[in-house]
Amino acid sequence: MPKSSASTLRSRGLWLLGPALVAGVAYLDPGNVASNMTAGAQYGYLLVWVVLAGNIMAWLIQYLSAKLGVVTGQSLPELLGARLRRPWARRAYWLQAELVAMATDLAEIIGGAVALNLLFGMPLLLGGVITGAVSMILLAVHSRRGPRHFEFVIIALMVIITVGFIAGVFIAPPDPAGVAGGLVPRFEDSGSVLLAASILGATIMPHAIYAHSSLARDRFGGDPRADAETRTLLTATRWDVTVAMVIAGSVNLGILLLAAANLAGVEGTDSLEGAHAALADGLGPVVATFFAVGLLASGLASTSVGAYAGAEIMHGLLRVRVPLLARRLVTLIPALVILGTGVDPTLALVLSQVVLSFGIPFALIPLVALTAQTRTLGAWANRTGTTIAGVAASVLLIALNGALLWLVLTGS
């Protein structure tokens, strides 16, 4: 970013928004859709409070990630790569982060393939290839036109996602009393605990944390600036994160409310295909088509951001810069293999969430620790209250992801 005065930055207004909206796409990926749709269909409005709580924690975590990139001019993976001095430690850290990013990408490619199958009857393997090819085009926009143009494309897809998933709520609105009752924190049985953990696991994702610090660095980091300019950028960042999380939270809540109001007790809604069929039967083909289009946009946008995150993880931890398109080709292979071998897409989505759960501590703990250090952020280090909130959110999320792993692996 060129050197600018604080007043010039303030005058540019909306220009400062964008990185959080791109990172926020991670909160609207097919894993979120599946978790929220299943929660609404099986438990009605019971878990509304989980979606809201997850969104509040996501705001704090994404802001800390963005602040790290703005103030230091480095991404979280770059800072970790500098702190981990032993090569074997950097490689081990990269390996777990890379596996998590690939697991996330798996869910996103599968979501896009399922959407193309629902819309056009396309075979899943071909749908996966097309989803991957379109994501390569989106990454080419980033490589050749820069981060700002990439942001415009992803934000446009976010608009499509929002319309696709929210349209049904206006056609068949939820019960206000039921929504109000869902604000009271409670569980019904072990199944509701599992779904709550799944919702939070699909909401707070490691690759979104890594990506947001990189996106903020790309837009705002790297140039010396006065304190007033940094303060202006952090204020804009808070607005950016707020807008992104309001959109993501509204869409996720809308998916749950749509299912709670119209699919409660309907069989087969624990899969994306089943949910689409139930929407078509209950609300008609138009709402079902909107849902499928939203799912397709979700897969395309989130897999592009996931591929970007994977490249940044490799660059920061291994100090190796592999072209985005080359990485995209390599990371596409596991998803295509799974689609080609006929593995149940819903099972693959669940397993990807399990793998993702392993990576949560490795992203959250360093993020809170680094943003609390004055030697890293100087005067912009977290206040005590912010650090306490970050620690509390991290402990809760790690515990819930641990519960998710236990419930899934033990079949409880």
Band of residue 411 on the pLDDT scale cut at 50, 70, 90: low
Q: What is the pLDDT of residue 11?
A: 46
Does position 2 have pLDDT exceeding 50, yes or no? Answer: no
Q: What is the pLDDT of residue 6?
A: 52
In a domain, residue 4? The reply is: no
In a domain, residue 12? The reply is: no
90 neighbors 318 (Cβ within 8 angstroms) = yes
Q: Give the model confidence (pLDDT) of 65-87 as tens digits.
A: 999 999 999 999 999 999 998 99
Residue type, 376: T
Does position 106 have pLDDT exceeding 90, yes or no? Answer: no
The two structure tokens encoding residue 174: 């939820």
Q: What is the pLDDT of residue 55?
A: 92
341 neighbors 85 (Cβ within 8 angstroms) = no
Does position 399 have pLDDT exceeding 70, yes or no? Answer: yes
Domain that holds residue 106: 19-410
Give the residue carrying structure tokens 């379109």: 134
Computed over every residue of the chain, the mean pLDDT equals 86
* List of residues 6+ apart from 280 with CB closer than 8 A: 287, 288
Residue 251's CATH number: 1.20.1740.10
DSSP letter (8 states) at residue 411: T
Question: Whole-angstrom distance between the N-terminal and C-terminal Cα of the chain?
Answer: 51
Q: Model's pTM, two decimal places?
A: 0.89
Band of residue 62 on the pLDDT scale cut at 50, 70, 90: very high
In a domain, residue 7? The reply is: no
Does position 236 have pLDDT exceeding 70, yes or no? Answer: yes
CA-based torsion, 305, 307, 312, 313: positive or negative = positive
Give the residue carrying structure tokens 């392993």: 358
Band of residue 222 on the pLDDT scale cut at 50, 70, 90: low
Band of residue 412 on the pLDDT scale cut at 50, 70, 90: low
Q: Give the model confidence (pLDDT) of 149-158 as tens digits.
A: 888 888 899 8
Q: What is the pLDDT of residue 145?
A: 80
Q: What is the pLDDT of residue 226?
A: 73
Segment 92-119 shows an average pLDDT of 89
Residue type, 149: H
In a domain, residue 336? The reply is: yes
Does position 248 have pLDDT exceeding 80, yes or no? Answer: yes
Residue type, 369: A
In a domain, residue 11? The reply is: no
Band of residue 358 on the pLDDT scale cut at 50, 70, 90: confident
Where is pLDDT greater, at 284 or 400?
284
In a domain, residue 13? The reply is: no
DSSP letter (8 states) at residue 386: H
Give me the number of domains the chain comprises.
Answer: 1
Band of residue 410 on the pLDDT scale cut at 50, 70, 90: confident
Q: Give the model confidence (pLDDT) of 10-50 as tens digits.
A: 545 556 677 888 888 888 888 788 888 888 999 999 999 99
Does position 1 have pLDDT exceeding 60, yes or no? Answer: no
Reference 162, options 301, 18, 319; nearest CA is 301
In a domain, residue 121? The reply is: yes
In a domain, residue 73? The reply is: yes
E strand or H helix at 259: helix 227-262
Where is pLDDT greater, at 191 or 40?
40
